[in-house]
Amino acid sequence: MKNRRKVLVIAGEFPPLKTIGRIRSAKFVQHMRQFGWQPYVLTQDYSTSDPNYFCELEDEIPDDVKVFRVKNDVYDELLIQKVKRLVHRNHIKASESTGHTPHENTRQRRHNDALKDILLDHFKSFFKNWVHIPDDYIIWSRRAFTEALKIIDEYNIDLVYTSLPPISACITGYKLKLATNLPWIVDYRDLWTGDVLREWINPLRNSYEVYLEKKLIKKADVVISVSEQKTQYLRELHSSSRCQWVTLTNGYDSDVFEPFLKERKPTQELDEISFVYTGRLFKNRRGYSFAEALGQIYRQQPECVKKIRVHIYGGISPEIQERYNQILNRYEIHHLYQFHGDVSYHDAMRAQVNADYLLLIVDTGTTSDGVIPGKLFEYIASKRPIFALCDSGATKDIIEKSNAGVVVPVESVELCKKVLLEVLQQDTPTTLPVNQPYLSQFERLTISKKLASLFDQTVKNKAR
């Protein structure tokens, strides 16, 4: 450890929070230590009541890695809390002055509650669109900057690495670059402007964010993204930047899944054909075409799909759940779907290795060709065949070149139905004959070694 160089890893998503975004940073932190770099992690504080908190994920943090946490307060929530306290105090004062609690009839109380809900929705919408720019980690970013200066000074940091999202981490890295002139590397797990999950942003705000992103990235020494398509997009967007452009994909650790693979139940023991999806369904990630295709087959050839069970592990946005309910009701296939809600990371891994097929749903949007979900590599490590709803691009290439499964366009019900019938006519595979030489490039240790070499070269270039 004494001979290692020191990197400050600024990652808003980090264990023990169970988000898919935590995995890339957590794995880099685990592996880079054996390649000559000692990480110091700056992330958000958490509450054990947070729905994303899972205590077992503390095990993902090596014992010799210092983790510094700062609280993430959100502007609108802080104001709402203050208003509620003020209203509560006024309510108490009114009670004390009259000697009794103010009374409203039921109809008036319901009317007032409905009005409050409407006003609250408008209030939150205003903050989401016009205050939380670039995201709702603004307060965290400011606190992170102050804390980072202390860490850099105390531990003699050699390099700053920021992982996006949260996008506000880029502002922290930029300010540290100006204040310390340390080498600064930005890692885009997802795009900032142009991301398929941020298409809701209005044009005026988007123009400002493009300006802001270009201003910040001009100061970066290296910019990393997870696919060649995203790297090319960023290079064109930041054509005036003199930074180095690098692609480092996400990856997988086979050993993490080994304990679960050893306890896998033989397929023939179960009287169902299971399609398992693990992860959230929200915004542009929906997967309706699979449900539609399954419903149409059930109407025409019910015997073909009577054993299918689709298991969804993870949170679902209310509007997406409502649409699923409509589809399942229309085709009367509620019994073929099971929504398990949020589960622990270990339960999700166990579900993956015991699946007959793993359902992968990739985001739609103008830049979706560069999307490679971290979930893809978890699925590959699970050694089960993938049934992917995915348009042409990086994810489709990896699945087809690795022989890890089949791919159908995200929104094509007809093609989904055709390929699903073809899959069901075959025996459920007990093993997956993947192209291992091709997949070896995605082993997390290999990618981490490349990252450490990039750190070395960046520090060396800065010293010239």
Q: What is the pLDDT of residues 364-386, one digit of tens each?
A: 888 888 999 889 999 999 999 99
238 shares its domain with 311: no
383 shares its domain with 297: yes
CATH of the domain at 181: 3.40.50.2000
> Measured in Å, how far apart are the chain's first and last C-alpha atoms?
25
Report if residue 405 sits inside a domain.
yes
46 shares its domain with 193: yes
List of E strands, 211-361 = 222-225, 244-247, 273-278, 308-313, 337-341, 357-361
How many other CB atoms sit within 10 Å of the CB of residue 80? 15
Q: At what angle do helices 413-424 and 288-300 cross, to 10 degrees?
A: 60
242 shares its domain with 224: yes
230 shares its domain with 288: no
213 shares its domain with 292: no
317 shares its domain with 307: yes
Number of structural domains the chain divides into: 2
**What's the one-letter identity of residue 92?**
I
DSSP assignment of 435-462? -HHHHGGGBHHHHHHHHHHHHHHHHHHH
308 shares its domain with 359: yes
Report if residue 127 sits inside a domain.
no
Report if residue 128 sits inside a domain.
no
Report if residue 291 sits inside a domain.
yes
Q: At what angle do helices 394-402 and 374-382 cross, to 10 degrees?
A: 10
DSSP assignment of 216-242? HHTT-SEEEESSHHHHHHHHHHTTT--
Q: What is the pLDDT along the chain (464 residues), one digit of tens a residue?
A: 668 899 999 999 999 988 888 999 999 999 999 999 999 999 999 888 888 888 888 999 999 999 999 999 876 676 777 666 655 555 445 555 555 555 556 766 676 667 777 777 777 888 888 888 999 999 999 999 999 999 999 999 999 999 999 999 999 999 999 999 999 999 999 999 999 889 889 999 999 999 999 999 999 999 999 999 999 999 999 999 999 999 999 999 888 888 888 888 765 556 789 999 999 999 999 999 999 999 999 999 999 999 999 999 999 999 999 999 999 999 999 999 999 999 988 899 999 999 999 999 998 888 888 999 889 999 999 999 999 999 989 999 999 999 999 999 999 999 999 999 999 998 888 888 889 999 999 999 999 999 999 999 999 998 87
pLDDT, residue 331, reads 97
Report if residue 102 sits inside a domain.
no
396 shares its domain with 457: no
**pLDDT tens digits, 400-432:** 999 999 999 999 999 999 999 999 998 888 888
Report if residue 60 sits inside a domain.
yes
pLDDT, residue 292, reads 97
Closest CA to 276 of 380, 366, 355: 355
61 shares its domain with 210: yes
Residues 6+ apart with CB under 8 A from 43: 10, 11, 12, 13, 14, 67, 68, 69
| Structural contact between residues 388 and 395, judged by C-beta atoms closer than 8 angstroms | yes
Residue numbers of the domain that contains 318: 254-442
454 shares its domain with 418: no
Which helix (H) or strand (E) segment is 108 a member of? helix 106-130
239 shares its domain with 286: no
Cα separation values, 277 from 218, 285, 286, 330, 341, Å: 39, 12, 11, 22, 11
Report if residue 87 sits inside a domain.
no
Cα separation values, 195 from 167, 233, 338, 422, 423, Å: 11, 11, 30, 34, 33
Residue 267, classed as helix, strand or coil, is helix
Report if residue 112 sits inside a domain.
no
Q: At what angle do helices 20-32 and 374-382 cross, to 10 degrees?
A: 70
